[in-house]
């Protein structure tokens, strides 16, 4: 049968061979920001998963922007070389697989412990942590330190760090760059009134709170060639009435569209630890659907989308243009192959099964 899931789509200058994407999922396994063998195994396998796009995890634009000591980074020649080796490997394994990297600064959620090392908290200097910065001196929770407020003149420098990292990513051969404006990290902290209490040009009114995001977009767009797609990952809501809202998100995405961004990946939450999030299958899809309808931006949907027919139905209903398969892809690294079988695709797309693996479909 003909399916939408296996129909090509363009995200600006880059064509994806199908509409399956692997979203960024942090592995917390780098050393000094540099790619390790684990990453080559992990992303090499995902390149052969059947996904048309694989996004490399949250990659810090500066050392103090890391979520943990073990985040990938892109602030040095060594970091750039490691990323290039990884991207080259992924493209060699499956030339049709498009590779994206997510650029991030963690702000007040930086210097954290790795998730499997105990409850979330700020890592103190005696344990290898560092002093964290944020739009306002408001801690994420009572287990996180109070951040130092970012000076006005430093805002532009951090935006330039995003641009410098984007230039390195382009030289490393990525097909697309995703700016992380979600999940309670630095750009989201500027956007949300929960975490931004500034009284200068970066705080207060919505356009002021969007100012830093706009400066980052401009820096990234200026740093990459025209054949590299640039987009955003957004949290469409903070899940609390006084926080960042879906209406605010639509404003931001329309702004991003004017600045030349060509796709948006719609998630939610992450900026407050006690938000009442109604987690369930496809729970974030309604936000993606509204963003797509009201902005016209190529939209990715994410959030407990596990089944091929579920993904196909969302595309047919017009809820999104691309489907993120995250945890389900970790559980089943050949999810794309199995989706083709489950949807009864008559001619298996080239990307879904590398020729070396075709015999795996014969039993």
Q: Quick one: pLDDT at residue 363?
A: 41
Q: Quick one: pLDDT at residue 112?
A: 97
Tokens standing for residue 63: 């050392």
Yes or no: say if 6 and 38 are a contact pair by the CB < 8 Å rule: no
Per-residue pLDDT at 266 exceeds 70: yes
Give the pLDDT band of residue 127 (cuts 50, 70, 90). very high
Q: Which of 263, 156, 266 is nearest to 218 (CA)?
A: 156
Tokens 């899809």 belong to 285
Give the pLDDT band of residue 228 (cuts 50, 70, 90). very high
The rounded mean pLDDT for the chain is 96
The boundaries of the domain holding residue 207 are 4-360
Beta bridge partners of 176: 100, 229
C-alpha to C-alpha distance for 259 and 278, rounded to whole angstroms: 33
- The angle formed by the CA atoms of residues 267, 269 and 270, to the nearest 5 degrees, is 115
Q: Quick one: pLDDT at residue 354?
A: 72
Q: What is the pTM of this model?
A: 0.96
Give residue-wise pLDDT tens across range 134-161.
Answer: 999 999 999 999 999 999 999 999 999 9
Q: Determine which one of 43, 144, 185, 202 is catalytic.
A: 185
Number of domains in the chain: 1
Give the pLDDT band of residue 352 (cuts 50, 70, 90). low
C-alpha to C-alpha distance for 55 and 166, rounded to whole angstroms: 14
C-alpha to C-alpha distance for 265 and 277, rounded to whole angstroms: 18
Among 59-63, 102-106, 193-197, 332-336, whose mean pLDDT is lowest? 332-336
The Cβ of residue 140 has, within 10 Å, a number of other Cβ atoms equal to 26
Yes or no: say if 259 and 177 are a contact pair by the CB < 8 Å rule: no
| Average pLDDT for 255-277 | 97
**70 assigned to active site:** no
Give residue-wise pLDDT tens across range 303-314.
Answer: 999 999 999 999
Give residue-wise pLDDT tens across range 166-175.
Answer: 999 999 999 9
Q: CATH code at 141?
A: 3.20.20.70
Give residue-wise pLDDT tens across range 5-24.
Answer: 999 999 999 999 999 999 99
């Amino acid at each position: 049968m003909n399916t939408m899931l296996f129909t090509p789509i363009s995200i600006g200058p880059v064509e994806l061979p199908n509409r399956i994407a692997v979203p960024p999922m942090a592995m917390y396994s780098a050393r000094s920001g540099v790619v390790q063998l684990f990453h080559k195994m992990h992303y090499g396998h995902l390149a052969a998963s059947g996904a048309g796009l694989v996004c490399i995890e949250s990659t810090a634009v500066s050392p103090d922007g890391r979520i943990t000591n073990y985040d990938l980074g892109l602030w040095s020649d060594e970091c750039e070389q490691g990323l290039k080796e990884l991207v080259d490997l992924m493209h060699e394994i499956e030339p049709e697989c498009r590779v994206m990297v997510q650029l991030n600064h963690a702000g007040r959620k930086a210097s954290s412990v790795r998730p499997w090392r105990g409850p979330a908290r700020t890592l103190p200097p005696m344990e290898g942590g560092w002093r964290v910065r944020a739009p306002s001196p408001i801690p994420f929770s009572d287990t996180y330190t109070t951040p130092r407020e970012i000076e006005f003149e430093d805002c532009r420098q951090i935006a330039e760090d995003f641009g410098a990292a984007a230039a390195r990513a382009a030289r490393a051969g990525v097909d697309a760059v995703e700016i992380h404006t979600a999940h309670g990290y630095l750009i989201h902290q500027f956007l949300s009134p929960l975490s931004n209490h500034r009284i200068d040009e970066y705080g207060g009114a919505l356009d002021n709170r969007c100012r830093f995001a706009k400066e980052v977009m401009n820096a990234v767009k200026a740093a990459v060639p025209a054949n590299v797609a640039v987009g955003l990952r957004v949290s469409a809501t903070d899940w609390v009435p006084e926080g960042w809202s879906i209406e605010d998100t639509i404003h931001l995405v329309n702004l991003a569209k004017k600045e030349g961004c060509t796709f948006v990946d719609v998630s939610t939450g992450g900026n407050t630890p006690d938000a009442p999030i109604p987690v369930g299958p496809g729970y974030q899809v309604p936000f993606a659907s509204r963003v797509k309808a009201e902005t016209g931006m190529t939209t990715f949907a994410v959030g407990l989308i596990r089944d091929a027919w579920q993904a196909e139905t969302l595309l047919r209903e017009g809820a999104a243009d691309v489907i993120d398969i995250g945890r389900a892809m970790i559980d089943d690294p050949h999810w794309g192959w199995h989706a083709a079988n489950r949807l009864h695709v008559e001619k298996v797309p080239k990307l879904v099964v590398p020729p070396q693996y075709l015999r795996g479909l014969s039993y």
